[in-house]
Amino acid sequence: MKLQKIVNRLQKLHPKEIDLSLNRIKRLCKTLGNPQDKLKSISVVGTNGKYSTIQALFAILKEVKVKCNIYTSPHIKRINERFVFNNEELNDDNLGILFEEIEEANNKEPITFFEILTAAYFYRASEYPDNINLIEAGLFHRFDATNILKNNLASIVTSIGLDHLDWLPENERTTKKIIFEKTSTLLNSNIIIAKQNSSEIVNEIKNSIKKNSSKKYYYNEDYNYSFNENGFIYYEDKDGGIKLPIPNVKGQFQLENISTAIATLRSINQLKVSEKNIKDGITKIKSTARLQEIDSGKLKELVKNNKLLVDGSHNPLGAKVLNEYLESLNCNKHIILGMMGNKDHNEYVNYFKNIASLTTVDIPNQPNSIKGKVLKTKLNSFENVKYKKSIIDAIKSIPVKENDIILITGSLYLAGEVLNLN
């Protein structure tokens, strides 16, 4: 309860949830002694796959016995998830103490919630100067609060697509503009570019970073992977090939994220990551709300022997890779959908093919979400879309048969509600 009271105070320090500028975060970090300058970091920017790539990096680095600090957003179930130090999530008491220290240093100056959280992360992370920091950029990157590092070990560019367009001027809501925002201020070190959705996007990234003196590693040019029918993955880069076991996460897109993580760690010579570290690490990846199977709990009891999956994808690119996974399954697929109001709802849903049923729901505790009833009326490309007010009612309403699966998707906020409810 004490932690929530502090969080409520921090959320009132600025009238806007997002106000793209680096001035406030720089001011506060200067007061704190510029802790961000003391960090060894791997920065992760992009539209999709940032969290999954970070979790793959983390799993491998744990095998190397390298300790990590991790900063991700948004959180799924509770805010502590954003603050990992020395491989451990910060508990309520210590997170409350940290927030109070940063609140006092800020001295009631205007600052957005994300900015003050980022300053808090930098401040605590600086107490572990030997750790590797895995830092996920928030909205875009150029004016994101995480973009005040002076140097890093590497920058990862995950897959880029259209999202958060409401934060761009109406005449600049293009992939080209998003690529510029995400890549034009990357630091000079190593830049690893993940598999992209088209050659045009790759070429635009190349153009954006052509003056950056970093070593650059592109998927398919400098590293790649292939899936072998005999039950293994073959990864290859300039240092040679590795025969890898199947990782413990679902979906082709996860293999793309994992290959990018491997390429990144092998590009940082001082880490000395071995083939065994990689093989062991990729079978121990944590994957919360990314094609996560719910195998026990309140909601699982409702579906009995059927599979229940939750995925936080929320933009067209996420829907595309999610549908690729669903298409690989030989069964009936039922989707429960809840989304935020500022998304392109029809474009997202249109990626799903051969769906047995679609049920829209409200996302509890999210005033910026679209009501399930309204979402139902918008999805005119699907026949017989149903609406149910609650997640439980939606699950109960689906007439599943043997081997059918239920997937709950459309928002990380919805995924968090599902996991907390379960």
Q: In terms of DSSP H, where are the helices of 129-215? A: 175-183, 199-208
For residue 80, the 8-state DSSP code is G
> What mean pLDDT is predicted for residues 375-399?
92
Could you tell me if residue 168 is inside a domain?
Answer: yes
- The predicted-structure confidence for 154-183, as pLDDT tens digits, reads as follows 999 999 987 666 666 777 788 888 999 999
Provide the percentage of residues in the chain whose pLDDT is more than 90. Answer: 86
Domain shared by 166 and 59, yes or no:
yes
Q: Is the peptide bond before 169 cis (omega within 30 degrees of 0)?
A: no
Cβ count near 136 (within 10 Å): 21
Same domain, yes or no: 211 and 146: yes
Three-state DSSP class for residue 310:
strand
3-class state of residue 305 by DSSP? coil
What is each CA distance from 378 to 268, 285, 304, 344, in whole angstroms? 48, 37, 32, 10
pLDDT tens, 398-414? 999 999 999 999 999 99
> How many CB atoms are located within 10 Å of the residue 151 CB?
11
Task: Report the pLDDT averaged over residues 66-89.
Answer: 97
Q: What is the DSSP letter of 164?
A: -
- pLDDT value at residue 166: 65
Q: Is 136 helix (H, G, I), strand (E, B) or coil?
A: strand
- The count of domains in the chain is 2
Vertex 407, ends 411 and 289: CA angle to 5°?
50
Instruction: Report if residue 287 sits inside a domain.
Output: no
Whether residue 136 sits in one domain with residue 14 = yes
Selected residue with higher pLDDT from 248 and 172: 248
Residues 350 and 389 in one domain: yes
How do residues 122-133 score in pLDDT, each as one tens digit? 999 999 999 999
What pLDDT, on the 0 to 100 scale, is given for residue 19? 81
Q: How many helices (H) and strands (E) does the chain have?
A: 15, 17
Does the model's pTM come out above 0.85?
Answer: yes
Domain match, 120 and 227 both = yes
- Give the CATH number for residue 299: 3.90.190.20
Give a yes or no: residue 267 inside a domain.
yes
Is 115 within the bounds of a domain? Answer: yes
Q: d(Cα 118, Cα 154) in Å, to the nearest integer?
A: 19
Q: What is the mean pLDDT of the chain?
A: 94
Q: At what angle do helices 252-267 and 50-63 cross, to 10 degrees?
A: 50
pLDDT of residue 165: 63
Q: CB neighbours (10 Å) of residue 182?
A: 24
Q: Are 56 and 148 in contact (CB under 8 A)?
A: no
Structural domain containing residue 395 = 292-421
Where a domain ends, among 231, 261, 281? 281
Whether residue 1 is predicted with pLDDT greater than 70 in this model: the reply is: no
Do 111 and 137 lie in a common domain? yes
Residue 113 has pLDDT above 90, yes or no: yes
- By the 10 Å C-beta count (0-12 exposed, 13-18 middle, 19+ buried), 141 is classed as buried
In the prediction, which pLDDT does 384 show? 82
Does residue 50 sit in helix, strand or coil? helix
pLDDT of residue 279: 97
pLDDT of 275 strictly over 90? yes
Q: How many residues does the chain have?
A: 422
Q: Are residues 265 and 302 in the same domain?
A: no
Q: Quick: pLDDT tens for 178-210.
A: 999 999 999 999 999 999 999 999 999 999 999
- Pick from 304, 303, 224: nearest CA to 258: 224
DSSP-based three-state secondary structure for 24: helix
How far apart CA 192 and CA 50 sit, in angstroms, is: 13
Instruction: Please check whether residue 352 lies inside any domain of the structure.
Output: yes
- 238 part of a folded domain: yes
CA 132 to the chain's CA centroid: 18
Rounded to whole angstroms, the Cα distance separating 145 from 216 reads 24
- Distances from the Cα of 71 to the Cα of 1, 56, 124, 137, 340, angstroms: 23, 14, 11, 9, 23
Do 123 and 169 belong to one domain? yes
Pair 244, 322 in one domain: no
How many angstroms separate the Cα of 173 from the Cα of each of 77, 161, 202, 280, 304? 31, 11, 18, 42, 44
Looking at 281, 316, 345, the residue that finishes a domain is 281
Q: Which two tokens stand for residue 130?
A: 């030997």
Residue 57 has a pLDDT of 98
Q: Specify if 76 maps to a domain.
A: yes
Shared-domain flag, residues 271 and 297? no
Same domain, 342 and 262: no
Residue-level pLDDT at 173: 81
Which of 281, 310, 328 is where one domain is finished?
281
The Cα-based distances of 280 to 59, 232, 244, 285 in angstroms read 9, 13, 9, 10
Q: Which two tokens stand for residue 335?
A: 């989707």
Rounded mean pLDDT of 2-8?
Answer: 94
Tell how strand 232-237 and strand 240-244 pair up.
Answer: antiparallel
Structure tokens at 276: 């065994």
E strands, 38-183, are 40-45, 68-71, 84-85, 88-89, 132-136, 154-157
In a domain, 113, yes or no: yes
For residues 78 and 122, membership in a common domain is answered with: yes
Q: What is the pLDDT of residue 163?
A: 65
Tokens of 215: 């070593």
> Would you state the pLDDT for residue 174?
87
Residue 302: phi and psi, rounded to 5, are: -70, -30
CATH number for position 89: 3.40.1190.10
SS3 assignment, position 128: coil
The pLDDT score that the predictor gives to residue 236 is: 97
Find where tokens 């505790």 sit. 365
Q: Do residues 417 and 364 make contact, with C-beta atoms less than 8 angstroms apart?
A: yes
